[in-house]
Chain A
């Protein structure tokens, strides 16, 4: 699987962006990029913030991997917007990412508790 480009600015999400995007899309399909970005902000009470510079490459990469699929819709102002939804592979991936996250976070918690 491809890595983030080395020069990407480090953001607060640190490798969990995929998980967040997949989760949000699983709850609320047919969001465009901006909506996903604001959703991450809103749900996390502005603690987490996805930069455009990370989000779009991540979206394109996941589309490439077949986890999400995109389509163009017409907006009211006549412009087109590109919206995303989860695929079957994406659902599977979400499951995998979720359990990975659970394993990591519980491991970290253990360390914090017991160290």
Chain B
């Protein structure tokens, strides 16, 4: 018989079984007809029924049939113990689901390769750690456009070389002739960008080097598939349609493939524009021909035979040669020395670039560890439940073994049951993960928009889930299966469900509960650490008053305001004045930065003192009422006044830290300094208290504030101090702005407090999730303790009955049970505390304002587990103490 028909037999198993039965019936009938005793005739088939199991191996593809049978059997036998299965499935679904959800995010952020041709051959110059525009000599992270062109020409290691603007421009542009603007995130790229990635257009064409050959005359864009669907309603006639950005009309020449989100993970652009048009795209940066306007990331595709080391060597030689060939800037001694010591590292771009990655990789890996521990706890729980169940089924299994079923066969059947259970749990887990990963993404997105990441299911994620599902089944199924089949047959058959000797019998189950307690302890300590760290962070004195401030962004660059032009400044002043006059508004001021928005920094030159290039001063360009709005207290001197105009001497206000750092002796008021290489000095007129600038956990920074009247430029943050209803004020402020310029796009209207909260999104998510999983772990351990103790009590009913018959008081019996729990919990704690202390070092740098060996957190965790353990044990203990001795003694 061919294998194929054997496999066929598996699914015809029922029919074959029926036929065999029919044949036997016919045999028995003949026998009776010949005068044999019917009962005897029937009995003679007894051994055959037994052999049928064995003969399957001969008749069909044995393992497959037994698998199908075992699965069916498993499902049936599980359905008999609904409560157990419910608990097991729920904990599996949560455990596997949480693992899948965290992993899908981890995969999207850290692991997934770019959907381009051979992404592992792409190498980036530098590390993409910074973005922006720099004029530092010999900077190894950002590069100028002329540098890119020279490198492209001279290198011998890349088959293609491309560049992209290190910043994404959030533009408000117009589709066709529409009158209301639409947000479009534009990515400026070199014409070689798509060809270096090795991509084909989804529709139309992608950009080519010809689009980037001469400055200013290639107004073409490629739009992303997502944006084409979202903003253009999937218009089939999209090619040739126009977008008006600033004063320039661009033509759409192509749509990128659907799976392509750009080269920045979690930062998907809507449009790609050739860098030749950089001056036409807000904020109208002039960098096409400037040798030292360093604003680009450069990456190349290594030629087939080239190794990363060779590429690095070649790039570093060229880096010096090209910079030295730019004769329009003469490096001084220090800069030359720097150039000789510096090294351009090459980073693989296989998984794309990401700032998200730096921010998320640690919390994600830690959460992955946490959910893995939770799954482990769930596994031990289910193992214990199965162990208890296997003991309850001991008779069934013993009977089967006595009838000739081999031990391996029964182990396989029990493992199949575990697999059935874990696959059901895994399926539920995937359903749970689909919702959870989206929620997770929402939680980690610190802005008003959800970070554009694809966290849906894909092959990698599903393989991962499959892997942990099978691993889970083996983990929780193996020990009970081997345990259950290791029986002394005659003992068990004789004994029935009866007596249990001593406590050692449940040693394995107890060990697992102890393990659960230890793991839960670690998770509770972790949760407490992260929560306390978050509380410390949110209680940090920001130096400004975050309450009752509305903040919003305007985008003057998109509506024809040129950087630095006088009417821009006039517009700012007008808005400040009108908004300040609104009822309920106390002060309003524009500024370049408020909090957690990046920085503009550089070194300063104090006349008469050596320049300290290591200390970067953060510059903020602000309106006159900035300090009143933010309520940053003035310590010395004065704040800006209307008399500080473009024509008056340039002035600055510095913070305390800067005063201490640069002017340690005497009052800095009246002294002057230069910002970088700037010729005209600024004079210090005031000192303000230190305020947080980038993050809540930063050490004091040197910050100076300069008025926008003297430094006309785009400053797009408006802060408004108000009292009363936020929504009413928000409406009034926006109306006021639009009364001055109807076309001015307004975005991200929210409170300053919210902005501060967003800066600790990561920490908050970590705290929330670790609390959730910590509680889940405790809950699962609770079930574990409860289950085991209920089981032990039911096993010992007889003994308890005897004790009570002999006069043991109820409290004594209760204590008997509780003592066992207390021992397990205490042993678990005794193991868990040192383990937690050892593991704590992994998270210590993620904590703020406390150490990983925080005694309060450990005490809390110990307390929680003791209380919860005793609560979980109380019910079995009470049941034990209410045993009626008479019933208990008759029991069995």
* B55 in contact with A52 (CB, 8 Å): no
Nearest residue (CB) in A for B44 is A52
Q: Give B21-39 as 1s and 0s: 1 = Cβ < 8 Å from A's Cβ atoms.
A: 0111111011100100000
Minimum CB–CB distance from A25 to chain B (whole Å) comes to: 16
Q: Which residues of B contact A100 (CB under 8 A)?
A: none
B residues 1-24 touching A (CB-CB < 8 Å)? 1, 19-20, 22-24
* B26 in contact with A82 (CB, 8 Å): yes
Q: Which residues of A contact B22 (CB under 8 A)?
A: 80, 82
Q: Which residues of B contact A5 (CB under 8 A)?
A: 51, 54-55, 404
* B26 in contact with A56 (CB, 8 Å): no
Which of B1, B45, B54 is within 8 Å of A64, CB to CB?
Answer: B1
Q: Which residues of A contact B19 (CB under 8 A)?
A: 82
* A60 in contact with B55 (CB, 8 Å): yes
Which of A34, A38, A51, A61 is within 8 Å of B58, CB to CB?
Answer: A61
Minimum CB–CB distance from A103 to chain B (whole Å) comes to: 27
* Size of A's binding interface in residues, CB under 8 A: 25
Minimum CB–CB distance from B104 to chain A (whole Å) comes to: 49
Nearest residue (CB) in A for B58 is A2
Q: Which residues of B contact A9 (CB under 8 A)?
A: 47
* B45 in contact with A34 (CB, 8 Å): no
* A52 in contact with B45 (CB, 8 Å): yes
Q: Does B844 contact A (CB under 8 A)?
A: no
Q: Does B59 contact A (CB under 8 A)?
A: yes
Tell me the complex Cα distance, A50–B121, Å. 74
Nearest residue (CB) in B for A77 is B29
Q: Which residues of B contact A38 (CB under 8 A)?
A: 34
Q: Does A8 contact B (CB under 8 A)?
A: yes
Tell me the complex Cα distance, A5–B404, Å. 10
Which of A8, A35, A51, A82 is within 8 Å of B23, CB to CB?
Answer: A82
Tell me the complex Cα distance, A19–B48, Å. 21
If A61-B58, A64-B58 touch, whether A34 touches B27 (CB-CB below 8 Å) is yes
Q: Which residues of B contact A75 (CB under 8 A)?
A: 26
A residues 87-111 touching B (CB-CB < 8 Å)? none
* A53 in contact with B29 (CB, 8 Å): no
Q: Does A81 contact B (CB under 8 A)?
A: yes
* B51 in contact with A34 (CB, 8 Å): no
Minimum CB–CB distance from B487 to chain A (whole Å) comes to: 18
Tell me the complex Cα distance, A15–B870, Å. 66
Q: Does B154 contact A (CB under 8 A)?
A: no
If A5-B404, A64-B58, A82-B19 touch, whether A53 touches B26 (CB-CB below 8 Å) is no
* Size of B's binding interface in residues, CB under 8 A: 26
Tell me the complex Cα distance, A8–B51, Å. 8
Tell me the complex Cα distance, A7–B51, Å. 8
Minimum CB–CB distance from B706 to chain A (whole Å) comes to: 93
Q: Does B570 contact A (CB under 8 A)?
A: no
Minimum CB–CB distance from A76 to chain B (whole Å) comes to: 11
Which of B1, B26, B45, B51 is within 8 Å of A32, CB to CB?
Answer: B26
Q: Give A45-85 as 1s and 0s: 1 = Cβ < 8 Å from B's Cβ atoms.
A: 00000011100110011001010000000010101111000
Q: Does B667 contact A (CB under 8 A)?
A: no
* A52 in contact with B58 (CB, 8 Å): no
* B59 in contact with A64 (CB, 8 Å): yes
Q: Which residues of A contact B50 (CB under 8 A)?
A: 7
* A53 in contact with B55 (CB, 8 Å): no
Q: Give B736-769 as 1s and 0s: 1 = Cβ < 8 Å from A's Cβ atoms.
A: 0000000000000000000000000000000000
* A79 in contact with B26 (CB, 8 Å): yes
Q: Which residues of B contact A33 (CB under 8 A)?
A: 23, 27
* Residue among A5, A8, A79 with the highest chain B CB neighbour number at 10 A: A5
Minimum CB–CB distance from B794 to chain A (whole Å) comes to: 35
Which of A7, A34, A56 is within 8 Å of B30, CB to CB?
Answer: A34
Q: Which residues of B contact A8 (CB under 8 A)?
A: 47, 51
* B26 in contact with A57 (CB, 8 Å): no
If A52-B45, A64-B1 touch, whether A57 touches B51 (CB-CB below 8 Å) is yes
Q: Which residues of B contact A60 (CB under 8 A)?
A: 20, 55, 58-59
* B27 in contact with A32 (CB, 8 Å): yes
Minimum CB–CB distance from A2 to chain B (whole Å) comes to: 5
* A7 in contact with B404 (CB, 8 Å): yes
Minimum CB–CB distance from A18 to chain B (whole Å) comes to: 14
Q: Which residues of B contact A79 (CB under 8 A)?
A: 25-26, 29
Minimum CB–CB distance from B43 to chain A (whole Å) comes to: 10
Q: Which residues of A contact B51 (CB under 8 A)?
A: 5, 7-8, 53, 57
Q: Which residues of B contact A34 (CB under 8 A)?
A: 26-27, 30-31
* A57 in contact with B55 (CB, 8 Å): yes
Q: Which residues of B contact A35 (CB under 8 A)?
A: 30
If A38-B34, A60-B58, A61-B58 touch, whether A52 touches B48 (CB-CB below 8 Å) is yes
Minimum CB–CB distance from A54 to chain B (whole Å) comes to: 9
Nearest residue (CB) in A for B43 is A52
Tell me the complex Cα distance, A80–B57, Å. 26
Nearest residue (CB) in B for A38 is B34
Q: Which residues of B contact A53 (CB under 8 A)?
A: 44-48, 51
Nearest residue (CB) in A for B6 is A64
Q: Give A3-19 as 1s and 0s: 1 = Cβ < 8 Å from B's Cβ atoms.
A: 00101110000000000
If A7-B404, A82-B26 touch, whether A56 touches B48 (CB-CB below 8 Å) is yes
B residues 37-81 touching A (CB-CB < 8 Å)? 44-48, 50-51, 54-55, 57-59
Minimum CB–CB distance from B492 to chain A (whole Å) comes to: 19
Nearest residue (CB) in A for B34 is A38
Tell me the complex Cα distance, A87–B646, Å. 112
* Residue among B34, B58, B404 with the highest chain A CB neighbour number at 10 A: B58
Q: Which residues of B contact A7 (CB under 8 A)?
A: 47, 50-51, 54, 404
Minimum CB–CB distance from A68 to chain B (whole Å) comes to: 13
Q: Which residues of A contact B29 (CB under 8 A)?
A: 77, 79
Q: Which residues of A contact B46 (CB under 8 A)?
A: 53
Minimum CB–CB distance from B801 to chain A (whole Å) comes to: 41
Which of B23, B54, B404 is within 8 Å of A56, CB to CB?
Answer: B23
* A32 in contact with B30 (CB, 8 Å): yes
Q: Which residues of A contact B24 (CB under 8 A)?
A: 52, 56
Minimum CB–CB distance from B841 to chain A (whole Å) comes to: 58
Tell me the complex Cα distance, A82–B59, Å. 17
Q: Which residues of A contact B44 (CB under 8 A)?
A: 51-53
Tell me the complex Cα distance, A104–B238, Å. 91
Nearest residue (CB) in A for B57 is A2
Tell me the complex Cα distance, A105–B776, Å. 75
Nearest residue (CB) in B for A66 is B1
Tell me the complex Cα distance, A75–B29, Å. 11
Minimum CB–CB distance from A11 to chain B (whole Å) comes to: 11
Tell me the complex Cα distance, A5–B58, Å. 10
Tell me the complex Cα distance, A58–B556, Å. 93
Q: Which residues of A contact B26 (CB under 8 A)?
A: 32, 34, 75, 79-82
Q: Which residues of B contact A51 (CB under 8 A)?
A: 44, 47
Q: Which residues of A contact B58 (CB under 8 A)?
A: 2, 60-61, 64
Minimum CB–CB distance from B495 to chain A (whole Å) comes to: 24
Tell me the complex Cα distance, A10–B336, Å. 98
Tell me the complex Cα distance, A61–B57, Å. 11
Minimum CB–CB distance from B848 to chain A (whole Å) comes to: 69
Q: Which residues of A contact B25 (CB under 8 A)?
A: 79
Which of B1, B27, B57 is within 8 Å of A52, CB to CB?
Answer: B27
Tell me the complex Cα distance, A82–B887, Å. 56
Nearest residue (CB) in B for A34 is B30
Tell me the complex Cα distance, A106–B182, Å. 103
Tell me the complex Cα distance, A32–B29, Å. 12
Q: Which 10 A-B pairs have the closest CB atoms?
A: A34-B30, A53-B47, A5-B54, A82-B23, A2-B58, A81-B26, A34-B27, A7-B404, A52-B44, A53-B48
A7-B54, A52-B45, A53-B45 given; name 14 further pairs at CB < 8 Å.
Answer: A8-B51, A9-B47, A34-B27, A38-B34, A52-B27, A52-B44, A56-B24, A57-B48, A64-B58, A75-B26, A77-B29, A79-B25, A79-B26, A80-B26
- What are 16 A-to-B residue pairs whose CB atoms are below 8 Å? A7-B47, A7-B51, A32-B23, A32-B27, A32-B30, A33-B23, A34-B27, A51-B44, A52-B44, A53-B44, A53-B46, A56-B24, A66-B1, A79-B29, A81-B26, A82-B22
